[in-house]
């Protein structure tokens, strides 16, 4: 039997290939009367606050971002901008070629699967339409929970949904948001995905000090499960 009963995945950069903002984001900024570079600057420096839902609904958040960038959008423009942002984020998102195959293989082995993502309002709007959605037993979104990784609450929320202990969960992530050390801190076994394309990934707060297990592809996770001799990653000495 596998040593683990569930595999918990990060989403962006883990179940997906590296993410960069595409041209639709600049078009949205211009349509709302703001300079695209100014909007990009606001988006970058406020990601964690937006991912915690600090600025309210999707419409309220978009309005706030545009106003911070010098725009004064009308209500109708903001309403149109929200689905445009969902479409833009979805266009930026390409599932890894082996994502569906790996999730299917895990479930066939009797393991539960989950996603834990630091994300803004857009991901909950489009993830349910992706091919991976039916293969996930739980999806934890920071924007709905109100906390980001590495806060213990976001990992424990996944455990609660799965009705499992953290020690029964393998955690797979590219290392953004200090997610790997955060997973280890609650008792999960973290594994870094170090796929070659991630050199181009848009990442915040990279987990640069992580020295635990590493795989180069999602498919290697199946090998880890089938030959599981993994042990919890020790936390660094303060």
Q: What is the pTM of this model?
A: 0.91
Give the model confidence (pLDDT) of 200-221 as tens digits. Answer: 776 666 667 787 899 999 999 9
Q: Is the pLDDT of residue 227 over 90?
A: no
Give 116's Cβ-side CA count (13 Å radius): 37
Average pLDDT over residues 177-204: 88
What local confidence, expressed as pLDDT, does residue 198 receive? 83
Domains located in the chain, CATH noted: 6-18+94-226 (3.40.50.1000), 24-92 (no CATH)
Give the model confidence (pLDDT) of 26-77 as tens digits. Answer: 999 999 999 999 999 999 999 999 999 999 999 999 999 999 999 999 999 9
Mean pLDDT over each residue of the chain, to the nearest integer:
91
CA distance 169 to 112: 9
Q: Is 38 exposed, middle or buried (0-12, 13-18, 19+ CB in 10 A)?
A: middle
The angle that helices 219-226 and 99-108 make with each other, rounded to 10 degrees, is 20
């Amino acid at each position: 039997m596998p040593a683990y009963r569930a595999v918990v995945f990060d989403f962006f950069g883990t179940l997906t290939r590296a993410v960069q903002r595409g041209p639709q984001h600049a078009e949205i900024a211009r349509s709302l009367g703001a300079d695209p570079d100014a909007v990009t600057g606001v988006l970058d420096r406020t990601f964690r606050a937006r991912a915690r839902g600090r600025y309210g609904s999707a419409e309220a958040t978009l309005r706030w971002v545009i106003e911070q960038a010098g725009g004064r959008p009308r209500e109708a423009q903001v309403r149109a901008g929200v689905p445009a942002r969902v479409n833009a984020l979805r266009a930026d998102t390409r599932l890894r070629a082996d994502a569906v195959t790996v999730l299917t293989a895990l479930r066939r082995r009797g393991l539960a699967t989950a996603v834990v993502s630091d994300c803004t309002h857009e991901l909950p709007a489009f993830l349910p339409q992706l091919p991976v959605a039916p293969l996930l037993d739980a999806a934890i979104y920071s924007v709905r929970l109100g906390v980001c990784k590495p806060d213990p609450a976001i990992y424990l929320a996944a455990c609660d949904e799965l009705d499992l202990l953290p020690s029964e969960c393998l955690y797979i992530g590219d290392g953004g948001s200090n997610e790997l050390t955060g997973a280890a801190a609650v008792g999960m076994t973290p594994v870094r995905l170090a796929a070659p394309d991630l050199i181009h990934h848009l990442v915040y707060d990279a987990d640069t000090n992580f020295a635990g297990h590493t795989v180069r592809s999602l498919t290697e996770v199946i090998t880890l499960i089938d030959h599981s001799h993994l042990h919890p990653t020790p936390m660094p000495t303060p």
